[in-house]
Amino acid sequence: MRSTAIASHRGGAMLWPENSPTAFRETAQLPVDFVEFDVHPSRDGVIVVHHDATLDRTTNGTGPISEQNWSELSQLKLRGTESDRPPVLAEVVEIFRSTPILLRLEIKAGVDHQPYPDFEQLVATELDALEVLDRTIVTSFLLGVLSHFRPITTLAGRIWLVNPMVLNAVGGLEQVIKLAKDAGIAEIGLRQEVITAAAVAACRDSQLRIGAYAAHDEAAMTRMLDLGVSVFTTDDPVSALRLRRNR
């Protein structure tokens, strides 16, 4: 069995300021399998790497990212850094281009929790122009967002992130598996707390890969390694690598 892959979540948010150039440069030095990051569009269509739809928590700016042009966003400073500003997608791609680390790009929704209009096409076009479609996995909590990427056969993959509320709302794991298969999705990502040996077995029986998100402490990471999930995202990739190495 292939060993569990490790994804440095937001560039290792427990170790460095999340989604910052500093975090990505540090992650690029690690033998992780994936770097995870999130994207939003600026008002003028620049793809900005940032977690929240608003700027308030992580920068010295305020308000929604999508209501400001890149000329304004580029003046911001990320909290906890010397002088980092939120990076654009192309900059993150360049940090990892010379490494074997794959990109795990999460398409975020707007402040209204709705997908940004035509954002999927913008991201797909940019990934194509940067020639990294084949090393990028696109993830989203919204199945509809992922459907836009289905025709792009050169994309490395798509992962449907299913939060515990949605898992319940659709009627449990069997329904999630069915929805994923119908959508041509080969992998789902569940919150680590809800993943059990039975869930892993059910996915395996359906030829669906199952990964975990939010495995941040050692107990959670150890449990995910024991269960043999395909991948987990973690804010602490250094500890994750040590735990995997020492097995």
144 versus 172: smaller Cβ distance to Mg ion: 144
State the minimum distance, in angstroms, from the CB of residue 10 to Mg ion: 6
Give the residue closest to Mg ion by C-beta.
106
101 versus 207: smaller Cβ distance to Mg ion: 101
163 versus 222: smaller Cβ distance to Mg ion: 163
State the minimum distance, in angstroms, from the CB of residue 140 to Mg ion: 9
Q: Which residues pair with 78 in a beta bridge?
A: 59
In this structure, the strands spanning 47-49 and 34-41 are antiparallel
Long-range contacts of range 153-157, CB-CB < 8 Å, 24 or more positions apart?
155/124, 155/127, 156/102, 157/186, 157/187
13 versus 241: smaller Cβ distance to Mg ion: 13
Binding site for Mg ion (CB under 5 A): 38, 106
In this structure, the strands spanning 102-107 and 136-140 are parallel
State the minimum distance, in angstroms, from the CB of residue 128 to Mg ion: 22
In this structure, the strands spanning 209-213 and 187-191 are parallel
* Strand extents, DSSP E, 61-145: 102-107, 136-140
Amino acid code (one letter) for 178? K
- Helix 173-182 and helix 197-205, axial crossing angle in degrees, nearest 10: 30
State the minimum distance, in angstroms, from the CB of residue 38 to Mg ion: 4
51 versus 85: smaller Cβ distance to Mg ion: 51
Cβ atoms within 10 A of the Cβ of 99, count?
15
State the minimum distance, in angstroms, from the CB of residue 1 to Mg ion: 26
